[in-house]
Structure 1
């Protein structure tokens, strides 16, 4: 991740990154509101959370990386998981590096203290989050959801490239800033390495 502008704003690949708070039109409404509230509590948000417009046909991780020269290790995938124990349902947005996958049946299930866990159905995930499928991001999810973030993002070096709540843009921020977002729980080895 570089700072091409000299302002502290992160930059990655060949996308045109701008401060996210200056382009609310590129953010789902819950994301824009969450960023505004977070920025009031943490001055780093205004200068270190960037957004870039993308072709929605390139929104999937592998395609986006190939088209825009983005390093795969920067991509953060967010999946929404629901776990149930008896009549109690618990939902979590789980953020893992794209080089890994969320261990839903073991790790996430245990964290949710559930007998069974599975991906939240797409229609529920989009309706409850107010975000587009394929663009769901941990910033701005419902307050009743837990936000679990893989500790690999907390080392200060790795950036986090993720959805903006919409399929027409991406958010970028330092991984350690993501890990300090309100409500985030940093979890070691949340993602399991592929292969």
Structure 2
């Protein structure tokens, strides 16, 4: 099987390079049927943010998918979701996500909490290996890209995989219009 590739990044089989992954990501990939189709690419951790990375490695913005963690409460119950959206869009937290979670108000999880509970580094949080009980909402536009670049759980690398597989992650819910266009 050929690994996905993108821009000037050098793809390596993700399951063979666990040192480039956060522990929960490595564990999730080890048990996933599609793991052989996932590549990991090493990057400069100072370039982990989307704008810097896409420019430095000659990547299309539409291939980059961001994972944002959102939470809200209803009847004393907290509801958390990871929202995966293309980098040329932003999660519609105040409307679409709020309705999907069925909460009065949805907001981004505080950074320290997101890092602690996910077991991943800020700037590297990914939909792969998130805690059980968190919903995984995937904007349909992410599933349409040939190769998506997502976090690996650490800032020094990224994962490459077909967009259709982002939507096939365990527990993923494919959602139309989860995000709105930027600009």
TM-score under structure 2 length normalisation: 0.97
Q: What does residue range 1-195 of structure 1 map to in structure 2 within 5 Å?
A: 7-38=1-32, 42=33, 44-46=34-36, 48-155=37-144, 157-195=145-183
Unpaired runs of 5+ residues, structure 1, are 1-6
Q: CA deviation at 1:133?
A: 0.5
Q: How many residues align?
A: 183
SS in structure 2 at match of 1:131: coil
CA distance in 2, matches of 1:112, 1:139: 20
SS in structure 1 at match of 2:52: helix
CA distance in 2, matches of 1:92, 1:153: 16
SS in structure 1 at match of 2:26: helix
Unpaired runs of 5+ residues, structure 2, are none
CA distance in 1, matches of 2:168, 2:92: 22
Is 2:121–2:154's contact at 8 Å kept on the other side of the alignment? yes
CA distance in 2, matches of 1:162, 1:116: 27
SS in structure 1 at match of 2:121: coil
> Structure 1 segments of 4 or more deviating over 6 A?
none
TM-score under structure 1 length normalisation: 0.91
Q: RMSD of the alignment, in Å? A: 0.9
